[in-house]
Amino acid sequence: MNFRSNVSVACTFESPDCIFKNVGGDVFDWTMFHSGSTPSSYTGPSSAAVGGMYAFIEASSPPLDRCLQFQYHMKGVPGRLDVYAYSRHNPRNLAWSRQGNQGSSWKFAQVDIPSNISDLVIDIKGVRGTSYKGDIAVDEIKLEPHACQIIIRHGKVVFSENTSFHTPDNYYYHSLSQNGATRTFLIFNVRACNDAHIGLFTTFPSMNQRQFYEIVIGGWGNTKSVIRKVKQGQPMAQKFAKFLSCTNAKPFWVSWNNGHIKVGTGKDVDRNTFMVWTDPNPYQVNFVAVTSGFGSDADWTILYNR
């Protein structure tokens, strides 16, 4: 609406005809035409200033995209495994489903849950097949407060050439590799102002894990890079230099082989090496993960791996 200086406008949120409207497409919304107190304790008004209704934002729990992750096992002649994600007051919505034999190994699954589902309910439903040889199992169920960013093919977590993705400023590791992988190096581009982290894990990454190789490129405000054996631990190797850029993606490589960890710039492994460390008691590396944080997000492109 265009306002002229000689026009008086007012809205007390008593009627849907109010000229002020919530604009979508951002992080969270104004709740319009609300009466009484806000849902959170020790904050918000107990009633409207004028009339009976007002507008407010709920600071404690703005709607976010979420990612449901879990592992499942369906061997033999199982029936069906369904995942429903829906608002408590709305009909159930089928968000994910698998049916029949999925092989003898555990599979990884993830389900994007959009931010517009409030008062979220998740149902995981197993349906029996036609035989007793059809057990269905689930394990390691997680609900993350962000959109799904792991790359999946045929139920396995993988990373592939020329795959691009974004990691937010949250210092949460996103797994890119498949359990039992034989690859020993990774070449990638990354754009970040600071703190591009690569984690080399024995088991699937989780928030509580500390025992893994943590490689930090451009930490401490893009002034220092390190190799660690423990999350946030003491550096085993370090290099003082500014490697990252807020605007341009830079190429790097990381290699690992029986505890021999190396990091370099460019796209040729073992050239332009700037950090090296050999662990006398090495971890087995089964998972590769990346993250960003400490004031910067990151854009990644996997250039080559094996």
User: Which domains does the chain show, CATH number per domain?
Assistant: 1-62 (no CATH), 66-144 (2.60.120.200), 152-305 (2.60.120.560)
Asked whether 275 and 227 are in contact (CB, 8 A), the reply is: yes
Q: Six-digit token pair at 143?
A: 């609900």
Q: Six-digit token pair at 274?
A: 């700037």
Task: Give the model's pLDDT for residue 107.
Answer: 82
DSSP assigned state of 219: H
Closest CA to 296 of 236, 237, 217: 217
Helices (H), the chain: 219-222
CA 270 vs CA 253, 266, 267: distances in Å? 8, 10, 9
Q: In angstroms, how far apart are the furthest CA atoms of the chain?
A: 79
Report the predicted TM-score, pTM, of the whole model to 2 decimal places: 0.53
Closest CA to 188 of 69, 292, 92, 89: 292
Q: Six-digit token pair at 128?
A: 């029996």
Task: Give the model's pLDDT for residue 161.
Answer: 53
User: How many Cα neighbours within 13 Å face the side chain of 60?
Assistant: 7
For the chain, percent helix, then strand, then coil, each to nearest 5? 0, 45, 55
Task: Give the SS3 label for residue 52.
Answer: coil
Task: Give the model's pLDDT for residue 179.
Answer: 42
Residue 297 main-chain phi, psi, to 5 deg: -90, -175
Please list the rounded mean pLDDT of every run of 10 residues in the chain (306 residues). 56 78 66 78 81 78 72 90 89 88 83 80 91 90 72 49 76 68 80 96 81 97 97 96 96 93 94 97 89 92 67
